[in-house]
Amino acid sequence: MTSTKEKILNVAEELFADHGFSETSLRMITAKAEVNLASVNYHFGSKKTLIQAVFDRFMLRFTNDLSLEMDRLDEADSELQVIDVLSTLIKPITQLDNLRPDGAGVFMNLLGRAYAETQGHIRRFAMEHYASILKRFTQLLHTTSPNLQPTEMFWRLHFMLGSFIFTLAGHEALQEISESDFDQKVSIEEIIKRLVPFMSAAFSFDSNKPYGTTQASDDVGHKKLSAGEH
Q: Which is nearer to a copy of itself, 130 or 170 (CB)?
A: 170
CA distance 165 to 74: 25
Shortest Å, Cβ 48 to a copy of itself: 13
35 touching DNA, by CB under 7 A: yes
187 touching DNA, by CB under 7 A: no
- In order of 13, 57, 187, the CA distances from 168 in angstroms are 16, 19, 10
Question: Of residues 17, 40, 59, 122, which one binds DNA by CB under 7 A?
Answer: 40
Q: Which is nearer to a copy of itself, 35 or 165 (CB)?
A: 165
Question: Of residues 2, 6, 18, 27, which one binds DNA by CB under 7 A?
Answer: 27
Q: What is the 3-state secondary structure (H, E, C) of 158-192?
A: HHHHHHHHHHHHCHHHHHHHHHHHHCCCCCHHHHH
Q: Which is nearer to DNA, 5 or 91 (CB)?
A: 5
83 binds, among a copy of itself, DNA, none (CB under 5 to 8 A by kind): a copy of itself
Q: CA angle at residue 15 from 192 to 47, to 5 degrees?
A: 120
Q: Beta-carbon neighbour count of residue 4 at 10 Å?
A: 16
Q: Which is nearer to a copy of itself, 59 or 106 (CB)?
A: 106
Say if residues 33 and 100 touch (Cβ distance below 8 Å): no
Which residues make Cβ contacts (< 8 Å) with residue 55, sequence separation at least 6? 110, 114, 122, 125, 126
Q: Which of residues 43-102 bind DNA (CB under 7 A)?
A: 43, 46-48
CA distance 86 to 199: 8
144 binds, among DNA, a copy of itself, none (CB under 5 to 8 A by kind): a copy of itself
* Contact window for DNA (CB under 7 A) among 28-36, 98-106, 147-155, 207-215: 28-36
* Contact window for DNA (CB under 7 A) among 35-43, 71-79, 197-205, 218-226: 35-43
217 binds, among DNA, a copy of itself, none (CB under 5 to 8 A by kind): a copy of itself
Residue type, 126: A
Residues of this chain that interact with DNA (CB under 7 A) are 3-4, 24-28, 35-43, 46-48
